[in-house]
Amino acid sequence: MGAYTSRISFRTKRSGRSLILGLTTTRNLDDEAVMAVATRVAPADGHEWDGEFRRPIACPDHYHHFMPPNMPLCPVYDVAHVALCNHTWKTICKAGTPKMKEYHKEGIVLFYDEFFHRLFQRDPGFNEVFPGIRKRIEVLIKAMKFLLNDSGVPELQVRDRCRNLGYRHKSIPLVRPHHFATYASTFVEVAMFWLDTEATPNVGEAWSNVIGYNLKCILQAYLPGLVDEGGWNQNVVPSPRLPDKPLQRKGSATKMKDVR
């Protein structure tokens, strides 16, 4: 996904913010704001996601094109994967890994800070999609509750829930097809970063398939009518080339004499 600079590699945060290295226990204003919003996020926002999805879905060429390159192209749904993701997400929220314990901060604060730092590095356009702390943390927590509530749910129900959510995203301003892959792959990357020694191959496989399967179903419902295949093969659309003008034959400068 390109080069990045980890948030914790900075000696200081941006202007006006406390040291992140030095293992300080002082909570800054951003930490307080994140926790204040996190504790108030409801598990659902009133939309009915469980209804049967009966709208058109994107063809495989389209949704495969917008899947993250570091995730399975054909992810599978497995309740064991969901259970493992639930377990490791609780570890992150409790700041239960040695790497997280060093910072004496809430797990969700550390995850939020690192996640959005990397996300904005990769695509500054996300600053417009998520203009403030409240919106960012609300979307992050609601996404996790949506994903991890799938434990024990039949696959067809998960599929319809994700497709209904994907269709809902059509009405959200500023969201673009490529945003989904960037958001999803960055999430898995940061989860593995904070899990550290607990980020085993099995854990990576579980997260990649759970998020990948949900993302595939979301894209299937989101993409119809929004795909421009003309922009897939180039970053710049060249100006149309004008046809070459036909060569005009000039009259001969030599006059032939009439020898009759």
What the block records as the tokens of 56 is: 């058109």
Is 200 part of a structural domain of the chain? yes
pLDDT of residue 21: 33
Band of pLDDT at residue 148, cut at 50, 70 and 90: confident
Is 190 part of a structural domain of the chain? yes
Band of pLDDT at residue 252, cut at 50, 70 and 90: low
Is 8 part of a structural domain of the chain? no
Is 37 part of a structural domain of the chain? no
Is 28 part of a structural domain of the chain? no
Is 53 part of a structural domain of the chain? no
| Lowest-pLDDT range of 13-27, 146-160, 161-175 | 13-27
What is the per-residue pLDDT across 30-89, written as a single tens digit (0 to 9) for each? Answer: 676 666 655 555 555 445 677 889 999 999 999 999 999 989 989 999 999 999 999 999
What is the per-residue pLDDT across 7-37, written as a single tens digit (0 to 9) for each? Answer: 654 433 433 333 333 333 334 546 766 666 5
pLDDT of residue 175: 92
Looking up residue 172, the CATH number of its domain turns out to be 1.10.490.10
Q: Is the pLDDT of residue 118 over 90?
A: yes
The residue-averaged pLDDT of 119-142 equals 91
**pTM, to two decimals:** 0.76
Q: Is the pLDDT of residue 104 over 80?
A: yes
Q: Is the pLDDT of residue 247 over 90?
A: no
Output the 3-class SS for the chain: CCCCCCHHHCCCCCCCCCCCCCCCCCCCHHHHHHHHHHCCCCCCCCCCCCCCCCCCCCCHHHHHHCCCCCCCCCCCCCHHHHHHHHHHHHHHHCCCCHHHHCCCCCHHHHHHHHHHHHHHHHCCCHHHHCCCHHHHHHHHHHHHHHHHCCCCCCHHHHHHHHHHHHHHHHHCCCCCHHHHHHHHHHHHHHHHHHHHHHCCHHHHHHHHHHHHHHHHHHHHHHCCCCCCHHHCCCCCCCCCCCCCCCCCCCCCCCCCCCCC
N-term to C-term CA, the chain:
84
Round to whole Å and give the CA distance between 220 and 162.
9
Is 246 part of a structural domain of the chain? no
Q: Report the number of distinct structural domains present in the chain.
A: 1
pLDDT of residue 233: 59
pLDDT of residue 192: 97
Round to whole Å and give the CA distance between 81 and 207.
7
Is 120 part of a structural domain of the chain? yes
What the block records as the tokens of 45 is: 């926002």
Contact predicate 120/5, CB 8 Å: no
The residue-averaged pLDDT of 228-241 equals 59
Contact predicate 65/232, CB 8 Å: yes
The residue-averaged pLDDT of 101-110 equals 94
pLDDT of residue 187: 96
State the residue range of the domain holding 130: 66-225
Contact predicate 208/147, CB 8 Å: no
pLDDT of residue 28: 56
Q: What percent of the chain has pLDDT over 70?
A: 70
Band of pLDDT at residue 2, cut at 50, 70 and 90: very low
The residue-averaged pLDDT of 122-148 equals 90
Round to whole Å and give the CA distance between 180 and 203.
21
Taking alpha carbons only, the member of 191, 212, 199, 219 closest to residue 78 is: 212
